[in-house]
Structure 1
Amino acid sequence: MKKIILFSAAIILLAASCKKTENNASEQLPDVKASSTAKVCVDKGPNVEPGKVSTESVFVKTTSWANGKTIKVKFLNGTTFLQGKVKQYAKIWEDYANVKFSFVTSGTADLKVGFKYNGDEGSWSYLGTDALTYAPGNEQSMNFGWFDANSPESDFSGTILHEFGHALGLAHEQASPNQNIQWNKPVVYAYFQGPPNNWTKADVDAQVFAKYGKNDKTISYTAYDPASIMQYFIDESFTTDGFSVGENTVLSATDKSHIAKVYPK
């Protein structure tokens, strides 16, 4: 789970997606310790413009579901095994949020989930109710692009919890107004401008460095939580003070308490 896009305050962020990095992603920077299993995640919507700051933060209020809603989820493809993993980890959110995920096989659904659907190797989800607007009918609203029968359990846990966090309206933690990461910008630029991402400098500015303003009324946020399932990997070389974040694979205490406030029982 590691790729980020941020947009202008005039643009509502609609989806978040992730692409698996390859070993050659760190060849330009041998001090970067990202493994071949690291993820690089991108927020995306219909009006994506590189280099602009996102309106995203921890929770986007405009994308919230009705409290107590049963959210219908339908698989567009995938093996019984992979579908079972999604059901297993998605339902962990139900322990803390006053919502239910009902997995259906026919009729209409709120969320439509694919596995490498139409060859898409990224993992992503629309934010909350934006799935209804931008993926109506039987259009896909979530994708898992690198799962197979041999995927490690930590990959299932981290990725599924993350994408269903987006589906509940949660956004990337590093965009929090309370985040004060001391970025080593030359290293970050070099890393993300190299393969497999090949971003422009403007992309990196938007995807990595931008964050919300503290007075933004469209969001709900807490103290910055590097342990959040919505926070992405940060190699220690990406910061000037050695701050780093590993691959988070479980809900943090703040994830649990914040989602319980957003969807109170």
Structure 2
Amino acid sequence: MKTCEHSAPSICNLPLVEPRKLDPNIDRNRESLVRYIEKKWVNHTVSHYYFMQDQPQLTGQTNQLQAVRDAFDEWKNLGIGLDFIEVGDAAQAEFRIGFAPGSSWSYVGRDCIDLVPNHEDQTMNFGWDLTTPYGRDTALHEIGHAMGFPHEHQNHKAGIVWDEDAVYANFAGSPNYWDDATTYHNIIRKLSPQDATGSPWDRDSIMHYQFDAGLILSPAEYQQQPLIPSPGLSEMDIQEALKFYPDNSAAQWPELVPFLSHKLDITPGQQLDFTIEPNISRTYNIQTFGTMDTVIVLFEDDDAEPIYLAGDDDSGTNYNSKISQRLINGRRYYLRLRLYSAGASGEGGVMLW
């Protein structure tokens, strides 16, 4: 994360999460596409956040809560298609936020629901003052993780060559006191090693740490000077957020009609949205066809916000996404479909029956 206040701040410490297992024989390009997209939410998701003020060890002061609210608003005010709503019930929240001193962290994207289903457990923490310039960037950074964005300095396109001994020694000391495994997980480890997807390195990203001089061998300029990203969201942060989460809610989405296949004519990372208005109350099946990797999520429209009903993710497997769900005549539903990889044929479809 960013700061110009001091040279050795406490920094984000992501929870250690084992990568999802994929077929060991999976095509490298396909794997890279899956890894790049797998933790992102489908667009038009309404996420709920809850402050864990009922647990004394996790309570935050009023100004700290407001700093987090302001950071959610800053992301939302970019014009993205995600929405963030504060709720008073932990069971309704995907993001459950505490303020235990010492470390700031968040689960990344869909890990918040896939790996932390117990509503009594945290998914995000803020361990220092969020009202300073560095603190404001901390709030933006952790919310960026919750939206599905990883650490930018671990971008495989960054081309950073670390002085690994110096990095391990630096983060073993004050103020972080990390062991080698934590330092490797948060800094040395490269994400998505196949050079097929991902944006160019953005050294000003809100998702980038600052680094003291002498920790980086290449680019050579950082052997003698620190790498300190500019404050706030970078232009590339904004572009990436709008690419994955465009505000196209006013678009006319096609209707999925029973037994009529809809061809998927999109590129990896893009999303299609459909409406479903059943005229008979019964259990329906929704399934993709072809060799594509997709995630599909079904919501019900309750006039206030779309309510999640079911989802399936076939990425990196040899089966197709499928949902079986009872739908009620007279109600409206939305199917969100995000494409990871188009497969060998480059063609596929989705059908309701």
Q: Report the TM range for the smaller structure's normalisation.
A: 0.7 to 0.9
Q: Higher helix proportion, which one?
A: 1
1-side partners of 2:139 and 2:32: how far apart?
20
Report the CA distance between 1:63 and its aligned residue.
1.6
Deviation, structure 1 residue 181: 1.9
2:86 corresponds to which letter in structure 1?
Answer: F
Residue 234 of structure 1: aligned partner: 211
Checking the alignment, whether the CA contact within 8 Å between 1:60 and 1:169 is kept in structure 2 is no
Higher relative contact order (CA 8 A, sep 6+): 1
**DSSP-derived class of the 2:143 partner:** helix
Is the 1:115–1:147 Cα contact (8 Å) retained in structure 2? no
Question: Based on CA coordinates, which of the two structures has the bigger radius of gyration?
Answer: 2
* Equivalent AA in structure 1 for residue 106 of structure 2: S
Residue in structure 2 matched with residue 262 of structure 1 by the alignment: 244
Pairwise CA distance, 1:124: 0.7
Structure 1 segment 159-174 matched on structure 2, within 5 A = 159-174=138-153
On the 8 A contact 2:108/2:146 being kept in 1, the answer is yes
Paired residues for 1:46-195 under 5 Å: 47=18, 60-77=36-53, 78-94=60-76, 95-106=78-89, 108-116=92-100, 120-136=101-117, 137-147=119-129, 151-152=131-132, 154-195=133-174
Any idea what SS the aligned residue of 1:73 has? strand
Q: Distance in 2 between matches of 1:115 and 1:203?
A: 21
TM score, norm. by length of structure 1: 0.72
Counterpart position of 1:246: 228
Compared CA separation, residues 96 and 181, structure 1 to 2 (3 A): farther
Unaligned runs of 5+ residues in structure 2 are 20-30, 54-59, 248-353
Summarize deviations over 1:99-127 as a string: whole Å, max 9, x none: 011011135111111111xxx52111111
CA shift, 1:212, in A, is 2.8
Tell me the distance in 2 between the aligned counterparts of 1:139 and 1:193. 28
**% identity of equivalent residues:** 29
TM norm structure 2: 0.55
Q: Which amino acid aligns with 1:252?
A: S
Gaps of 5+ in 1: 3-32, 49-54
Note the aligned Cα RMSD (angstroms). 3.0
For 1:166 and 1:224, how far apart are their aligned partners in 2? 17
Deviation at 1:222, TM superposition (A): 0.4
Q: Distance in 2 between matches of 1:199 and 1:37?
A: 13
Higher strand share: 2
Change (3 A) 1:39 1:121: closer
* Alpha-carbon contact 1:56-1:212 (below 8 Å) kept: no
Please tell me whether residue 35 in structure 1 is matched to residue 6 in structure 2: yes
The number of aligned residues is 220
What is the distance in 1 between the residues matched to 2:87 and 2:32?
30
Cα deviation digits, residues 180-213 of structure 1 (max 9, x gap): 1243334323212334444455554444222134
